[in-house]
Amino acid sequence: MFTSKVPVESVEKIQENIFILKAFSPQIASAIKPGQFCNLKVSETDFPLLRRPFSISDVDGDYISFMFNKHGEGTRILSEKRNGDVIDILAPLGNGFTYEDDYDTAVMIGGGLGAAPFPFLTRRLKNKKIVTLIGGRNEKDVTDWGLKNVFYSTDDGSIGFKGNVVELLISKFNDFKDSEIKIFSCGPTPMLKALQKFTVDNNIKCEISTECSMACGFGICQGCPIDSAEKDKYYLVCKDGPVFDAEAIVL
Ligand SMILES: Cc1cc2nc3c(=O)[nH]c(=O)nc-3n(C[C@H](O)[C@H](O)[C@H](O)COP(=O)(O)OP(=O)(O)OC[C@H]3O[C@@H](n4cnc5c(N)ncnc54)[C@H](O)[C@@H]3O)c2cc1C
Ligand code: FES
């Protein structure tokens, strides 16, 4: 883990409220793996004080990218960064996905900005079939940036399947009956909880990237506990996660 001052290359708006911030960092690019995250000091002043956690969305050569939507002060400041601005970044943080084990098809499931870690995972996966299911409230909530073989679900049916992304998975489940699949997921807790139930009940390999409010980002403040499936035990999302086996945690 290290901090570095990273120059911004560009900030691109790719959807009504979805941005990609690309920055030049050979150091982070060579150290980070899919599913890990970075803690960004979004401003050079002391406000906002706390760093903000963001998944690493892609690594292309010496460039790293973050995908975010603008909803608070930190993400507003990030959306206004320009070429040449510098961001102080703490990285690499967390554990990341385990994606090199034995299975045929990687099924990535993202709820809204839960899509953020998957372009990098897509880039790194070799010799696996990829299916990506992205869900949102409506078509403005979803993007296929950096993804492959994408199917959408939306609550209002404005694009793709009408319903949520777990219902979309269940509706497509027959397509996977002849191959061994592993699910990689990220998104809001209610979605992850429904997915966890489905995968545990059906004995499907599934990794879940969880989200919560964080302060330090590396296991010191104890501010990000999540219950373990083992009685009287808990994990820290920032240090032991954010990625967990679906069977290992209580959501
Ligand atoms: C490991 C990890 C990876 C993340 N990766 C991404 C990513 O790739 N892209 C992305 O857009 N966001 C990601 N997030 C969430 C992101 O860190 C927060 O949305 C961000 O801190 C908001 O900062 P802000 O100052 O704009 O909003 P704030 O002013 O801090 O919050 C604005 C509103 O958003 C709510 N909020 C803040 N954080 C969260 C959260 N984690 N989950 C749900 N609601 C929240 C607050 O309660 C408040 O209502 C990640 C979070 C974690 C823990
Ligand atoms: S954010 Fe401090 S321990 Fe996890």
Confidence of residue 10 (pLDDT cuts 50, 70, 90): very high
Q: If you average pLDDT over residues 208-234, what whole number do you get? A: 95
Residue 59's nearest CA partner among 96, 22, 94, 84 is 22
Residue 237 Cα: closest atom of ligand 2: 4
* pLDDT value, residue 59: 98
* pLDDT value, residue 176: 87
Q: Where are the domains of the chain?
A: 2-93, 105-209
Confidence of residue 48 (pLDDT cuts 50, 70, 90): confident
In DSSP terms, 19 is beta-bridged to 13, 68
* pLDDT value, residue 105: 96
Residue 221 Cα: closest atom of ligand 2: 2
> How distant, in Å, are the alpha carbons of 37, 63, 80 from that of 21?
14, 10, 10
Helix orientation angle between 165-172 and 189-201, rounded to the nearest 10 degrees: 30
Secondary structure (DSSP) of 150-171 = EEEEETT-SSSEES-HHHHHHH
* H runs (alpha helix) in 130-241: 165-172, 189-201, 237-240
Question: Is the predicted pLDDT of residue 158 greater than 90, yes or no?
Answer: yes
How many CB atoms are closer than 10 A to CB 224? Answer: 24
What is the rounded distance in angstroms from the CA atom of residue 146 to the CA atom of residue 151? 14
Q: If you average pLDDT over residues 184-207, what whole number do you get? A: 96
Mean of pLDDT over the chain: 96
Residue 224 Cα: closest atom of ligand 2: 4
What is the rounded distance in angstroms from the CA atom of residue 172 to the CA atom of residue 151? 10
Question: Is the predicted pLDDT of residue 238 greater than 90, yes or no?
Answer: yes
Q: Give residue for tokens 């790719």.
A: 14
Q: State which amino acid sits at residue 39.
A: N
Backbone φ, ψ for residue 122 (5° rounding): -60, -45
Question: Is the predicted pLDDT of residue 47 greater than 90, yes or no?
Answer: no
DSSP 95: -
Cβ of 52 closer than 6 Å to ligand 1, yes or no, is yes
Those residues whose C-beta lies under 8 Å from the C-beta of residue 219, and which sit 6 or more positions away, are 236, 238, 239
* pLDDT value, residue 41: 96
For ligand 2, pick from 38, 50, 222 the residue to mutate: most ligand atoms within 8 Å of CB: 222
Tell which CATH classification among 3.40.50.2300, 2.40.30.10, 3.40.1710.10, 3.40.1390.20 matches the domain 2-93.
2.40.30.10
Q: If you average pLDDT over residues 173-190, what whole number do you get? A: 93
* pLDDT value, residue 245: 98
Cβ of 71 closer than 6 Å to ligand 1, yes or no, is yes
Is domain 105-209 classified as CATH 3.40.50.720?
A: no
Three-state DSSP class for residue 75: helix
Question: Is the predicted pLDDT of residue 31 greater than 90, yes or no?
Answer: yes
